Amino acid sequence: MKFKVTVLPGDGIGIEVTREAVACLETVAEKFGHEFEFIEQLIGGVALDKTGVPLPDQTLETCLASDAVLLGAVGAPQYDNNPPKLKPETGLLGLRAGLGVFANLRPAFLHETLINASPLKPEIVRGTDMLIVRELAGGAYFGQPREITEERGLNTMAYTAPEVERVARVAFEIARGRRNKVSSIDKANVLESSQLWRKVVTRVGADYPDVTLEHGYVDSCAMALVTRPTSFDVIVTENLFGDILSDEAAVLTGSLGMLPSASIGGKVDLYEPVHGSAPDIAGRGIANPLGAIASAAMLLRHTCKLEAPAAALETAISRILADGYGTPDLKSQPNQVSTSEIGRHIRRHIAQSAA
């Protein structure tokens, strides 16, 4: 099978980690008899520098003509004082909106090998395996009106019932393939948008009697993530809360650099590691590419429907960690190697796997 993938390396370490993810997909294609066509385009700060906008029309057009999009990261300090329309992050928001994706899947899985890299005690964090389903197209990030003056900043958090229902159904369907539990997180004791959220999720949950549904407040959930993380299976929540909680959950696994994500439900699916552009380590060859490589595995599973190659890539990640390899962010790993060496070891394991 042949697949067309638009690659958006973006800024900072995005360039380095995306390079390794693409190389791993090429190895998978060779091993399992598939073909990928990769087309590289601009987004973020590099797009601002070259075209004057963070999301050029050509980039979005190419993405919409592809089977999937693989993104690195966007952002750099030199753009922090730019007006909103000229910030790298605006390019990412525009991309998500242009693709029409609305459900962001963020798994947080702790490899046993990395248990000492987690900030939590082993007896608390061992066995952590959750998936956060973050609503991606609504809420405060997109609500209108919005404004900023010298004296006032305004954002609007709004949701409609159909927006909540569609992401809730994604969460319940995924839970059926996991441990049949959904935790819906809101702030219904304060926010009207959350009161609607809870009402709609409860209604959707009635269609899934085999899945246990629990409701929780976002502040309580934030505490529970660091006191009883293994109690969660699938978490579904709105955009802003999901952004914060998924980053918190990611740290539990030993490093933000470990975690992948998939944004689905629109015209074309988008895959990217959870981490940012990390300009302080960009170009030094020490960035952790495993989040980007795991995102490539999600691309194989969700867009290409290639379960065996996806599993082979994830198994390769587990094996190199078990072999003790890691980048400097994984301080518990005895074999400290570079970004490119991690990629090389992953590809070696894929090549040796059974097709």
Known catalytic residues are 141, 187, 219, 243, 247
Nearest to 18 by CA among 29, 6, 36, 30: 6
DSSP label at residue 219:
H
Whole-number Å distance between alpha carbons of 276 and 284: 16
Taking a C-beta distance cutoff of 8 angstroms, is the pair 233, 175 a contact? Answer: yes
Whole-number Å distance between alpha carbons of 341 and 326: 9
Taking a C-beta distance cutoff of 8 angstroms, is the pair 351, 31 a contact? Answer: yes
HSE of 338, CA atoms in CB hemisphere, 13 A: 9
Q: Is 261 helix (H, G, I), strand (E, B) or coil?
A: coil
Whole-number Å distance between alpha carbons of 158 and 139: 5
Whole-number Å distance between alpha carbons of 310 and 302: 9
